């Protein structure tokens, strides 16, 4: 009897092992004073969860939740969101990251990343026929919008995307099984950011192999998610 009680005494946290594509957990460290605010939004405190060099300090709490995918929301709710930033460094597996690309959106002061949660996802996103990022060896051929390579020369570092999309507003959005199209408008100009499962114009993989599909199961709306600005997507 006591053995049965012991085995069932450990209750699995509902937000462990999410298995949302690559995403296993979705966490955030917040001040304990704000814990009620976040639990009211569905987050749950977890006093045991941590990652490599990632744990709450004194006066802080670790909370977990489940991010929403584009398939699970009314995508029209993203209209009129303002692009305030972007990064290709989202996601963590402890000592490194999967290179998720995300656009930071602001809606009336509330900020969330719209994240394409596949490996090196900037290499699956294009605007005006140019890929957002690519492997260093293809920089000269594909001329990506952004090139960020630690330890490389200044000639291999550039950002031609910020000046185009920061401050723009989402004025159109189209989601199908294999693509997401975001229409971004600013200063009488319109640009279209396209997220692909696959497109023949995308650059090869870094190892020289032909570009593969970003995912093998489901639809692209399963892999594009909303993440709080200060949250971490664990893979």
Q: CB neighbours (10 Å) of residue 92?
A: 20
Residue 194, helix vs strand vs coil: strand
Q: How far apart are CA 7 and CA 28, in angstroms?
A: 29
Question: Please, are residues 54 and 46 in contact by the beta-carbon 8 Å criterion?
Answer: no
Q: Angle at Cα 146 formed by Cα 134 and Cα 126, nearest 5°?
A: 65
pLDDT by residue for the chain (235 residues), tens only, comes to 334 333 344 557 899 999 999 999 999 999 999 999 999 999 999 999 999 999 999 999 999 999 999 999 999 999 999 999 999 999 999 889 999 999 999 999 999 999 999 999 999 999 999 999 999 999 999 999 999 888 888 888 889 999 999 999 999 999 999 999 999 999 889 999 999 999 999 999 999 999 999 999 999 999 999 999 999 999 9
Q: What is the pTM of this model?
A: 0.92
């Amino acid at each position: 009897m006591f053995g049965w009680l012991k085995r069932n005494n450990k209750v699995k946290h509902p937000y462990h092992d999410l298995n949302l594509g690559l995403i296993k957990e979705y966490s955030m460290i917040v001040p304990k004073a704000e814990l009620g605010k976040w639990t009211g939004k569905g987050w749950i405190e977890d006093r045991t969860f941590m990652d490599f060099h990632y744990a709450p300090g004194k006066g802080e709490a670790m909370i977990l939740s489940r991010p929403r995918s584009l398939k699970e929301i009314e995508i029209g709710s993203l209209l009129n969101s303002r692009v305030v930033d972007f990064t290709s460094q989202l996601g963590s597996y402890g000592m490194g990251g999967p290179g998720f690309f995300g656009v930071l959106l602001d809606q009336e002061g509330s900020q969330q990343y719209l994240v394409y949660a596949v490996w090196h996802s900037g290499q699956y996103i294009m605007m005006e026929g140019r890929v957002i990022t690519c492997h260093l060896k293809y920089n000269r051929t594909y001329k990506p919008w952004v090139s960020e390579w630690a330890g490389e020369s200044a000639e291999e570092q550039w950002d031609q995307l910020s000046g185009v999309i920061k401050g723009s507003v989402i004025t159109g959005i189209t989601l199908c099984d294999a693509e997401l199209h975001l229409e971004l408008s600013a200063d009488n100009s319109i640009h279209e950011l396209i997220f692909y499962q696959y497109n023949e114009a995308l650059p090869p993989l870094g190892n020289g192999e032909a570009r593969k599909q970003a995912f093998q199961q489901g639809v692209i709306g399963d892999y594009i998610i909303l993440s709080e600005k200060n949250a971490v997507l664990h893979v």
